[in-house]
Amino acid sequence: MMSNIKRKWIAFLICFLSLSLTAGCGGSASESRSDTSENRSSVVIAMDPNSEPEAGFDPAFGWGAGEHVHEPLIQSTLTVTNADLTIDYDLATDYSVSEDGLLWTVQIRDDVKFTDGEPLTARDVAFTYNMVKESSSVNDFTMLDHAEALNDTTVAFHMTRPFSIWPYTMAVVGIVPEHAYDSATYGSNPIGSGRYILKQWDKGQQVILDANPDYYGEQPNMQRVTIVFMEEDAAFLAAQAGEVDLAYTSATYSDQTVEGYSLAAYESVDNRGFNLPAIPEQTTESGKRIGNDFTADVQVRRAINIGVDRQEMIDHVLNGYGSPAYSVCDQMPWYNPDSEVAYDPEKAKTLLDEAGWKTGEDGIREKDGVKAELNLLYATGDSVRQALAADFADQLKELGISCTLEGVGWDTAYDRAQSDPLIWGWGAHTPMELYNLYHTIGDTGLAQYSPYSNSTVDAYMDQALASSDLEASYDLWQKAQWDGTTGVTQEGDIPWVWLVNIDHLYWVADGLQVAEQKIHPHGHGWSIVNNVDQWSWS
């Protein structure tokens, strides 16, 4: 009966549709992806709808910056980051910083024109930075006092405090023309000097970028880049229908195959890890519960760090698409490789035994009346984090630690994480993340996201920020993680346990050569097209 009706229903559908189609068929030749010849110079990319910059392509409103930093494409930046996240030049030809770190002087090229034909000068740079500071969206410019053009090709940044990693900020902020900037319209009609020109923005659906014929660097190989914004399942269908050349996807779809496409996995620093409150449970003056009696024991935190099999987690939860994470900044220039540990469950058990956590009758460890129990928190609605937390709980069970799982909303998650481990996702292209995770703040004397403090770690990071040499500061950031005697790694305080870096997955049409990718930051988004100008068809 049921299938009978279904058949009739589908027949009805087809009748109805063929009727409507007779009206609509004539002009279907206009679909763009019909040309698949080798010298094709256009590409269609499906991105997450969240990647669409609602407020437009204006650096003042966060274009290029934020959670998922990427090159702004339409505008030029002073510096760029290399594939290994070290700093190179775009507009800048040279930069220097004063001994006290409060004055940055940047020389820029003199041969750059905006796409309206006007030359780009240091005045535009100063204007951009002052304006972005003024509008204060996701760009953190609190360390900048003001920018000033000394002449056509020299710009000076006066800082409120030393900030050695300023070149990473300079790699994000696209330079806008002072003469043609209106904050009400610039977002949808941006004029820049970058590799691409915004040809068209159909809000809520697509962005069409055309190569800038007057670009000062190498001419883009891809003349037209179309980015469409689709939900994950729609993007998958679009790949199946052959309508897009590259579509984002996730591990959920990774066991599928799409004819004419292959699955590409790109490495990321998009990590997941738990915070382990490093102080005993207590109540603050304002009545908040902070700290955790079980994880306050450093041996417990060490045991957890070596007692989890990260590869097993990757295979089970991520279908193999990920890499083990040992820090918040794996493979970044400021990463200390000493963070890496080997999976050793026996040693983990020994550590717990030695610390006095004895296995009770129910298989759960106990010490002085304190049970080895954890309430693991995850953000509700994030199935990957939930699955990782569940896998983590299973593995801790083997060590004699009993875990419960609880989904929480972000309105309460920050407060809850002060006493219970929460699974977090980080992965920014700046060491400020390391700073904010491990450095103590203000009056509490504890780190912001999870209670922890170590004055040596603080001192290294303060020195790193105050350093007048970026290269030298990398070494200080690394020492903050482990300097041979103390730090935040296994032999140190280990106040966070890092689990996995999630690979970013894409369906790539056969023949499309995607250029080598920088290690992606947190989240799917525009960083995939950082070097779309170098992509090609074969």
Partner 1 sequence: MKHRLNFAGKKLTRMVLLLLGVSLLTFLLMWASPLDPLQTNVGQTALGSMTQEQIAELEAYWGIDTPPAQRYLGWLGGVLHGDFGTSLLYRQPVLTVIGERLANSVGLMATAWIISGILGLFLGMLAGAYRNRWPDRVIRGYCLLISSTPSFWLAILLLMIFAVELGWLPVGLSVPMGLQADSVTFVDRLRHGILPVLTLSMTGVANIALHTREKLIEVLSLDYILFAKARGESQTSILLRHGLRNVSLPAMTLQFASISEIIGGSVLVEQVFSYPGLGQAAVTAGLGSDLPLLLGITVITAAIVFVGNLAADLLYGVIDPKIRRRAAKL
Q: Shortest distance, CB of residue 123 to partner 1, whole angstroms?
A: 25
Would you say the C-alpha torsion 425, 431, 433, 439 has a positive or negative sign?
positive
67 vs 281, beta carbon nearer partner 1: 67
135 vs 299, beta carbon nearer partner 1: 135
* Residue 205 C-beta-side C-alpha neighbours within 13 Å: 2
CA distances from residue 206 to 49, 84, 229, 247, 524 in whole angstroms, order as listed: 10, 31, 6, 14, 17
Please give the single-letter amino acid code of residue 458. Answer: D
Pairing of strands 496-502, 446-447: unpaired
Helix extents (H) in 404-454: 410-416, 432-438
Strands (E), 182-234: 196-202, 206-211, 224-229
Q: Shortest distance, CB of residue 44 to partner 1, whole angstroms?
A: 5
Q: Shortest distance, CB of residue 387 to partner 1, whole angstroms?
A: 18
Residue 149's closest CA among 127, 131, 118? 127
Residues 302, 308 contacting (CB under 8 angstroms): no
Q: Shortest distance, CB of residue 268 to partner 1, whole angstroms?
A: 11
Q: Shortest distance, CB of residue 152 to partner 1, whole angstroms?
A: 31
Q: Shortest distance, CB of residue 334 to partner 1, whole angstroms?
A: 12
* Residue 404 C-beta-side C-alpha neighbours within 13 Å: 7
297 vs 433, beta carbon nearer partner 1: 433
2 vs 342, beta carbon nearer partner 1: 2
Residues 152, 121 contacting (CB under 8 angstroms): yes
Would you say the C-alpha torsion 333, 338, 342, 347 has a positive or negative sign?
negative
**Strands laid side by side in the 261-266 sheet:** 196-202, 206-211, 224-229, 42-47, 246-249, 504-509, 261-266
Q: Shortest distance, CB of residue 258 to partner 1, whole angstroms?
A: 10
Q: Shortest distance, CB of residue 442 to partner 1, whole angstroms?
A: 7
Each residue of 375-399: b (16+ CB within 10 Å) or e? ebbbbeeeebbbbbbbbbbebbeeb
Burial class (CB in 10 A: 0-12, 13-18, 19+), 69: buried
Residue 220 is given by DSSP the state: P
The residues near 35 (Cβ < 8 Å, ≥ 6 apart) are 42
49 vs 511, beta carbon nearer partner 1: 49
**Strands laid side by side in the 322-324 sheet:** 322-324, 496-502, 271-275, 423-426
Q: Shortest distance, CB of residue 213 to partner 1, whole angstroms?
A: 16
Residue 487's closest CA among 522, 443, 437, 430? 437
112 vs 499, beta carbon nearer partner 1: 499
208 vs 303, beta carbon nearer partner 1: 208
Residue with the two structure tokens 């609880």:
406
Q: Shortest distance, CB of residue 13 to partner 1, whole angstroms?
A: 8
Q: Shortest distance, CB of residue 309 to partner 1, whole angstroms?
A: 26
74 vs 428, beta carbon nearer partner 1: 428
DSSP reduced 3-state for 502? strand
67 vs 366, beta carbon nearer partner 1: 67
Helix extents (H) in 406-469: 410-416, 432-438, 455-466
242 vs 511, beta carbon nearer partner 1: 242
243 vs 353, beta carbon nearer partner 1: 243
